[in-house]
Amino acid sequence: MRVLVLGSGGREQALAWACRSHGHEVTMRASLDDASADDTDLVIPGPEALLVAGVADECGRRNLSCFGPTADLAQLEASKSFARDLAQTIGIPGPRFARFEDPDAAIAWWRELGCRVVVKLDGLAGGKGVAVPDDDQATTDAIRAAAASGPFVLEERLYGPECSLLAMCDGTRAVALPVAQDHKRLGEGDTGPNTGGMGAYAPAPIPYGANDLLATFVQPVIDHHAAAGTPYVGVLYAGLMLTADGPRLIEYNVRFGDPEAQAVLPLLETDIAELALACTRGAVEDLPLVLRSQATVTVVAAAAGYPNAPVQGAKITDSMHSGLIGHDGTTTVRFDAGVDINGCVAGGRVLAVTGIGYDLAEARAAAYEHIGRISFDGMQFRRDIGWRAIGAEVATYASAGVDIDEGGRAVAEMKAAVEATHGNGVLKGVGSFGGVFSAQAIMDLDDPVLVASTDGVGTKVELAARLGLVRGVGADIVNHCIDDVLVQSAKPLFFLDYIAASVLDADLVAEVVSGMADACLAAGCALLGGETAEMPGVYQPGSFDIAGTLIGVADRSELLPRPDVGAGDVLVGVASSGPHTNGYSLLRKLFDWIPMDVVPEGFDRPLGETLLEPHRSYLELLSPALAGGSVKALAHITGGGLPENLPRVLPDDVDAVIELGSWPMPELFRLVRELTPQMTTEELYRTLNMGIGMVIVCHEDEVNSVQSSINETTWVIGRLVEGAGKVQLRRS
Q: For residue range 647-688, list pLDDT tens digits in order.
A: 999 999 999 999 999 999 999 999 999 999 889 999 999 999
Secondary structure class of 660 (helix, strand, coil): strand
Cβ within 8 Å of residue 145, ≥6 positions away: 131
Beta bridge partners of 544: 501
Mean pLDDT of 623-639: 96
pLDDT over threshold 80, residue 549:
yes
- Quote the pLDDT of residue 263: 98
On whether the 303-386 domain is CATH 3.90.600.10, my answer is: yes
Helices (H), 359-468: 360-371, 389-392, 404-419, 460-467
Domain ranges of the chain: 2-61, 303-386, 422-559, 561-732
- Quote the pLDDT of residue 415: 56
- Quote the pLDDT of residue 421: 46
pLDDT over threshold 70, residue 54:
yes
Q: For residue range 280-308, list pLDDT tens digits in order.
A: 999 999 999 999 999 999 999 999 999 99
- Quote the pLDDT of residue 320: 80
Distance, CA of 108 to CA of 91 (rounded, Å): 26
Question: Which of 276, 242, 286, 283 has the alpha carbon at shortest distance from 256?
Answer: 276
Long-range contacts of 134-138 (CB under 8 A, 24+ apart): 134/601, 134/602
In the chain, what's the furthest Cα-to-Cα distance? Answer: 105
CB contact burial 583-610 (16+ within 10 A = b; e otherwise)? bbbbbbbbbebbebebbbeebeebbbbb
DSSP 715: E
**Peptide bond connecting 307 to the previous residue in cis, omega within 30 degrees of 0:** yes
**For the chain, how many residues are written?**
732
Distance (Å) of CA 7 to CA 128, 195, 503: 19, 19, 58
Q: For residue range 359-410, list pLDDT tens digits in order.
A: 999 999 999 999 999 999 999 999 999 999 998 888 887 777 666 675 566 5
Distance, CA of 170 to CA of 77 (rounded, Å): 18
On whether the 422-559 domain is CATH 3.30.1330.10, my answer is: yes
Strand extents, DSSP E, 525-680:
526-534, 544-555, 570-575, 631-636, 654-660
Distance, CA of 352 to CA of 359 (rounded, Å): 19
- Quote the pLDDT of residue 570: 98
Q: For residue range 206-250, list pLDDT tens digits in order.
A: 999 999 999 999 999 999 999 999 999 999 999 999 998 999 999
pLDDT over threshold 80, residue 137:
yes
- Quote the pLDDT of residue 576: 98
- Quote the pLDDT of residue 503: 81
Beta bridge partners of 100: 152
**Peptide bond connecting 47 to the previous residue in cis, omega within 30 degrees of 0:** no
CATH of domain 561-732: 3.90.650.10
Q: For residue range 20-50, list pLDDT tens digits in order.
A: 999 999 999 999 999 999 999 999 999 999 9
Are the beta carbons of 688 and 460 closer than 8 angstroms? Answer: no
Question: Which of 638, 637, 640, 639 has the alpha carbon at shortest distance from 718?
Answer: 637
Cβ within 8 Å of residue 473, ≥6 positions away: 457, 460, 461, 464, 512, 515, 546, 612, 614
pLDDT over threshold 90, residue 709:
yes
Distance, CA of 554 to CA of 560 (rounded, Å): 10
* Angle at CA of residue 385, ends 383 and 390, nearest 5°: 115
pLDDT over threshold 80, residue 590:
yes
CA atoms within 13 A on the CB side of 400: 27
Q: Which band of pLDDT confidence, cut at 50, 70 and 90, is reported for residue 543? A: confident
* Angle at CA of residue 668, ends 666 and 671, nearest 5°: 110
Q: Which band of pLDDT confidence, cut at 50, 70 and 90, is reported for residue 4? A: very high
CA atoms within 13 A on the CB side of 727: 25
Distance, CA of 687 to CA of 656 (rounded, Å): 18
Distance, CA of 700 to CA of 606 (rounded, Å): 40
DSSP string computed for 588-618: HHHTTTS-TT---TT-SS-HHHHHTPPPPP-
* Angle at CA of residue 565, ends 564 and 570, nearest 5°: 135
Give the strand pairing for 233-243 and 162-170. antiparallel
Secondary structure class of 418 (helix, strand, coil): helix
* Angle at CA of residue 553, ends 497 and 635, nearest 5°: 80
| Element containing residue 426 per DSSP (H, E) | strand 426-428
pLDDT over threshold 70, residue 439:
no
Question: Which of 575, 725, 571, 567 has the alpha carbon at shortest distance from 658?
Answer: 571
User: What is the C-alpha R_g of the chain?
Assistant: 30
Q: Which band of pLDDT confidence, cut at 50, 70 and 90, is reported for residue 539? A: confident
The pLDDT mean for the chain works out to 91
- Quote the pLDDT of residue 102: 95
Distance, CA of 601 to CA of 322 (rounded, Å): 36
pLDDT over threshold 60, residue 411:
no
